[in-house]
Amino acid sequence: MKGEEILTNFDREIREVALPICLESLVGVDWFLLHVSPVYYGLGIPKGNGSAVILVPGFLGSDAYLYELHCWLARIGYKPYFSGIGWNADCLNVLVEKLQVTVGKAYEETRAKVHLIGHSLGGIISRSLAAQNPELIESVITLASPFRGVRSHPKIIKLAEKVRQRIFARKEKSNYPRCYTGYCNCPTIQALKSFPSNKVRRISIYTKSDGIVDWRACLTRDPKRNFEVTGTHIGLVYNFQVYKLIANFLAESLSNE
């Protein structure tokens, strides 16, 4: 991208970035535009073949807010699954282990590799799991996921620190003194340093008006795998442009089988 930095390495530092967090109040606009779009009703997009698609929520979220996307995927011909990780506010290693249970279930039920769609922190969890278990994953779609490093609004950084303190209140996390940071030596963080691109397809969807994370940290090394849309960070799970990109990308995966 001419004149702009593309992050090519995993950045372990946690940096506060001045972002337009007030724009996140426009999430309702994303939701409204989705419901008036033909894409939402399955019109003008390729249909699925029953492949498993697992949805992974973002930081401080649960599977509940992904219900709209879950229903849409079923409507266009896929077999959607909620992540089953519970509240996304825990040690990332623990969350990946929980997600792996759901991936194993979906793999057994469909007898085929599964697709992962992760929103924000859910995308980081998804990429890490795929890097550790490429034999189970067909593709990964990340939505505003800063997998190149934590560059977020100061308020989000403070919330993350509170989660970290909560994690450390549990004795079983003493093996990872840098838990919930990019410096942690757990398998989840270590796996983020590489991605099996020759085995797992992936794309990154982002918005430059993101008020939560720095969009530059959401880019893959290959510009052809990065897709910009207009909208809010939270609203990407209700964004009709995102839904169209998802439908087309999943259909490409089917054609490659």
| Domains of the chain with CATH codes | 11-249 (3.40.50.1820)
Answer whether 128's CB lies under 8 Å from 154's CB: no
Answer whether 17's CB lies under 8 Å from 151's CB: yes
Q: Give me 5's structure tokens.
A: 């930095």
pLDDT of residue 1: 38
The number of CA neighbours under 13 Å toward the Cβ of 125 is 31
Q: Which residues of the chain have pLDDT under 70?
A: 1-10, 171-174, 254-257
Hey, which residues does 55 pair with through a beta bridge?
82, 117
Number of C-beta neighbours around residue 12 at 10 A = 15
Q: Give me 231's structure tokens.
A: 């909208």
The pTM for the full model equals 0.92
Number of C-beta neighbours around residue 86 at 10 A = 13
